[in-house]
Structure 1
Amino acid sequence: MNSSEKGYNSEHNYPDYPDYPDYDSSMTPSVPAAPTHTCTDAMCVFLATVNVIMMLLGITGNGLVIWIAGFKIKKTVNTVWYLSLAVSDFLFCVFLPFNITYMVKSEWSFGLFMCKLTSFILFLNMFSSIFLLVIISLDRCVAVMFPVWAQNKRTIRLAWVMVLAAWIVSAMLSSPAAHFRDVHTTYHRHSETICYYNYAYDEQHIAIVLCRFIFGFAIPLLVIIICYAFIIQKLKYNQTGRSNKPFKVMTALIAAFFICWLPYHIFNLLEINVKNSIIQIGQQFGTTLASANSFMNPFLYAFMGKDFKRKFYALWSKIESTFEEEARSTLRATSITNSGVHSSAV
C-alpha cells in the first residue's frame, strides 16, 4: 500500500529530526495529526535553551577555528582535516535556528525547500564528521606505521582530495533525508504546517535508519578501533620524548563524536519496532546531544592539556598551538622513524 492509498497517516510521521512536536495518533488516517504541545512545558523550554546555547557556541567556536586554520597559520595536512571538521560543524550550527524555531512554535514556517535542506544538513554534518574522523585516524595510523611513505606522499593536495571525496559520499548518503522530507498543513482550530518524513513504506524508513547506523556509526567505529590498535602497538615500541597531545586531541574528538551520536542511533533503532512517548522523548534528547557535538571540537582543541584555566583565558592561542603542534609532531614522528630505519640498514 503506497502513500496515496493511505492518505496522510500519523504512523508514517516518523519523529526523526527535526520533528520535535508530538502528534495525536488517534486522528483518522486521512487527517494529519495536530501538535499536542507547545514550548510552555519544561522539557521543551530546556531543549530550546540548550539548542540556542549550542548554536551560539558552535558558530563562535567553529568560526574561530575556520579563521585560524584557514587564514592565520600555515596550511598543513592536519589543518586541512580540522578546517574541514569546523566547516561541517559551522554549517550545521548556522541552520540550527530553523529547528529551534520549529521546536518553539510547534509549526514549520519556512516552506518545503528549507524543510528538506535542514534535515539534509544534519546528516551531511553527521556523515562528513565521522568520515573526516576516519580519515584522521587512517592518516595518523599511516604516519606511524609507514613513515617513509607518509613523508613522501602525505601532501596537502592529497588531503584536499580525500576531504572532497568524504563530502561527496556524505552528500550522497544524506540525500534520502531531503528526498523523503515533506510539509503538510493541518486544519483544525487554525492551520498549522508540519515538517515530516513522508515514507511510502515502512521498509523505506527501516532501510534508511539501518543505513545511517551502519555507514555513519558502526563501520567507522570499527575502522577507527583498528587504527587505534595499530597506533598503540607501534607506540609501545617507539617511545620518544615528543608530545602526545595530538594523539590525545584525536582521541577526544572521536570519543566526543561517538558519545554524542550513540543515543541518537540507539533510539532510532528502537523506534523501528517500538513507537511510544518514551522513545520519542529519547529521540528528542538524543538529537539534542548529537547536535552538541557541533560545538565541542573547538573547545577540545584548546582544553586538551593540564593547564586548563590558562587555556580558558587563551582560547585563540591554544587552538593555533594545537594545529602547529600537530604538524610538528607528525613531522618529528616520521623523521625519528626514518632515522631508525636508516640506522638499521647501516
Structure 2
Amino acid sequence: MTTEDSRTMNKENGALSNATSAQLIDCYYAIWRPVLITIYIVVFIGGACGAIRMLFLLMKMNKLSVTTTVTINLVVIHSLFLVTVPFRLYYYIKIQWIFGSYFCKLVSIMIHLHMDLAFLFYMIVLLIRCLIFFQWKDKVEFYRNLHAVATSAAVWFLAVVTVVPVMSIWYGKTGKYEETKCFAFHKEFSYGAVKALNYALIGVMVILTCALVGLQVFMLVKLVRNLSGSVWSHQEFRAQLKSVFFVCVIVFCFIPHHIFRIYYIRHVGDKQYAQLAVFNEVFLSITAISCLDLFFLVITGRKIRMPNLMALSCC
C-alpha cells in the first residue's frame, strides 16, 4: 500500500468516524431533547416574568444602594441570556441550526457569560450581607448615581474585553464544524492553553463557592445561637434566608456543571464524546435555571406564611 493510499484511507476512516459520532449525538439528543426543551421553556417564561416584575420593584428601591445596582445588573444579564433562549429551543426542536456559525458561537458563549457574571453578582450580594451581618457596615451605598453607573459600566466593559478576544481567537476557530450543527466546539480542548484556562475558572468558582457555603453556615449558626425563642419570629433570620437562597442557586445550578466539565475536558477526545456532548448540554441547561432566582425572590417578597417562605427560600 502506497503512502497516498494510506492517507486516503485515513481520511475516509476519519470521515466515517465523524459521521458515526454525528449519528450518535442525534440519537442521544432524541432521548434528552424533551428534558432540554422543558427546562428552557420554564427558564424563558419564569425568567422573563421575574425580570419584568423585578424591574418594577427596583423603581421603588434606593438607587444609591450597591445591592440595588447589583440586582439591576443581574436583571440585565438574565435578560440578555433569555433573548438567546428561543434560538436554543429552535435548535433542540429542529436539530438543525440555520442562523449561521458566528451567531451560533455568540449564543453558545452567552450561556457561559451569563453563568460567570451571575456568579459574580451573587458573590457581591453575599459579601455585602456579610459586611452588614458582622456590623462592619450599617449599609453599603454609592455616594452618587454616577458612581453606580460607572461601576456597572466598568464591569460590563471588562466582561466584553475578556469574552470578545476569546470568541475571536479560540472559539470555533481551530476545528471544522458542520454549519447545521451548533453548541459543539469541543476541538479547541486539544490545546493546553484552553484546558488550563477552563481548569483555572473551574477551580476559582469551586473554591469561592466552598468559602461562601462555609461562611453562610457560620453566620446561620451564630445567628441561631444569639436569637431567643422561635427563630421565625426574628427578622434577622428571615433576611438570612435570602442569602441561603443565593448560595443554593450557586451550589445546585453552577457547581454540577463545573464538576462535570472537569471530566468532560479530560475525555472530550474519547469515543464516548457523543454521549458527553449531550450531557454537557444538559448540565449547561441546569445553569440556566438560575434565571428563575428573580421569580422566586418576587414570590418570597410577598407576605405569605412562614412554612411556604422556608420552602421557597431553600429551593
Band the TM-score falls in, shorter-chain normalisation: 0.7 to 0.9
Counterpart in the other structure of 1:112: 101
Counterpart in the other structure of 1:265: 258
C-alpha deviation, 1:102, in angstroms: 2.0
Query: Could you tell me how far apart the structure 2 residues matched to 1:267 and 1:165 are?
Result: 32
1:293 aligns with 2:281: no
Instruction: Work out whether residues 116 and 177 of structure 1, in 8 Å CA contact, stay in contact via their aligned partners in 2.
Output: no
Instruction: Work out whether residues 172 and 188 of structure 2, in 8 Å CA contact, stay in contact via their aligned partners in 1.
Output: no
- With normalisation by structure 1, the TM-score equals 0.66
Counterpart in the other structure of 1:244: 237
C-alpha deviation, 1:293, in angstroms: 1.3
Counterpart in the other structure of 1:4: none
The equivalent position to 2:248 in structure 1, one of 244, 251, 255, is 255
Deviations 1:228-266 (A, max 9, x none): 366447646864953433211121122112211122112
Q: 1:249 to 1:156 in 2, by over 3 A?
A: farther
Query: Could you tell me how far apart the structure 1 residues matched to 2:97 and 2:214 are?
Result: 43
Consecutive unaligned residues in structure 1, runs of 5 or more:
1-24, 312-346
Instruction: Work out whether residues 105 and 167 of structure 2, in 8 Å CA contact, stay in contact via their aligned partners in 1.
Output: yes
1:206 aligns with 2:233: no
Instruction: Work out whether residues 181 and 196 of structure 1, in 8 Å CA contact, stay in contact via their aligned partners in 2.
Output: no
Query: Could you tell me how far apart the structure 2 residues matched to 1:170 and 1:86 are?
Result: 16
**Any residues of structure 2 matched to 1:123-202 within 5 Å, and which?**
123-147=112-136, 149-151=137-139, 155=143, 157=145, 162-175=151-164, 178-179=167-168, 180-182=170-172, 186=178, 192-194=180-182, 196-197=184-185, 199=188, 201-202=190-191
Query: Could you tell me how far apart the structure 2 residues matched to 1:105 and 1:259 are?
Result: 29
**Any residues of structure 2 matched to 1:14-33 within 5 Å, and which?**
27=15
In structure 2, give the amino acid aligned to 1:182. Answer: G
Instruction: Work out whether residues 213 and 247 of structure 2, in 8 Å CA contact, stay in contact via their aligned partners in 1.
Output: no
**Any residues of structure 2 matched to 1:2-81 within 5 Å, and which?**
27=15, 34-36=22-24, 37=26, 41-69=30-58, 71-75=59-63, 76-81=65-70
1:307 aligns with 2:295: no
Deviations 1:103-125 (A, max 9, x none): 22222211233122212321221
Bigger drift between 43-52 and 86-95 goes to 43-52
- With normalisation by structure 2, the TM-score equals 0.72
Counterpart in the other structure of 1:283: 280
RMSD: 3.8
Instruction: Work out whether residues 66 and 141 of structure 2, in 8 Å CA contact, stay in contact via their aligned partners in 1.
Output: no
Query: Could you tell me how far apart the structure 1 residues matched to 2:113 and 2:79 are?
Result: 12
How much identity, in percent, do the aligned residues show? 17
Q: Which has the larger share of helix?
A: 2
Q: Which has the larger share of strand?
A: 1
Consecutive unaligned residues in structure 2, runs of 5 or more:
1-12, 229-233, 310-315
C-alpha deviation, 1:98, in angstroms: 1.5
Query: Could you tell me how far apart the structure 2 residues matched to 1:263 and 1:152 are?
Result: 32
